[in-house]
Amino acid sequence: MGILEKFNTLIDFPKNLKNYFFPADNSRLFRKTERLKIKLGVKSLLEIKPFDKTMQYLVAKVGDNYLMSKMDFDKSTGKFSFQKLGRMKGAKTLVRETEEYYPNMDIYESFYIIRLDATPPRKGTGQKLINLAQRESWRSGCKGKVHLDALNPDNPPFYFYRKMGFDSQDRHKIEIIDNLMKNKMPVPDKYRKWCISMYLPKNKTGTLI
Q: For the domain that residue 24 is a member of, what is the CATH number? A: 3.40.630
- Tell me what pLDDT residue 31 has: 67
pLDDT 10s digits, 14-51: 333 333 333 344 456 566 666 766 666 666 666 554 44
- pLDDT at position 209 is 31
Q: What range does the domain containing 35 cover?
A: 3-200
Let me know if residue 125 belongs to a domain.
yes
Distance CA 126, CA 64 (A): 17
pTM: 0.75
Within-domain flag for 85: yes
Q: How many C-alpha atoms does 41 have within 13 Å on its Cβ side?
A: 10
How far apart are alpha carbons 113 and 111 in whole angstroms?
Answer: 7
209 belongs to a structural domain: no
Tens-place pLDDT, residues 53-86 = 455 677 878 788 888 887 776 777 766 677 788 8
Residue 8 reports pLDDT greater than 60:
no
Distance, in Å, from the CA atom of 116 to the CA atom of 121, rounded to the nearest integer, reads: 11
The answer to the question of residue 207 being in a domain is: no
Please indicate, yes or no, if residue 208 is contained in any of the structural domains.
no
The one-letter amino acid code at 153 reads P
Is 206 part of any domain? no
Torsions phi, psi of 158, nearest 5? -60, -45
Number of structural domains (the chain) is 1
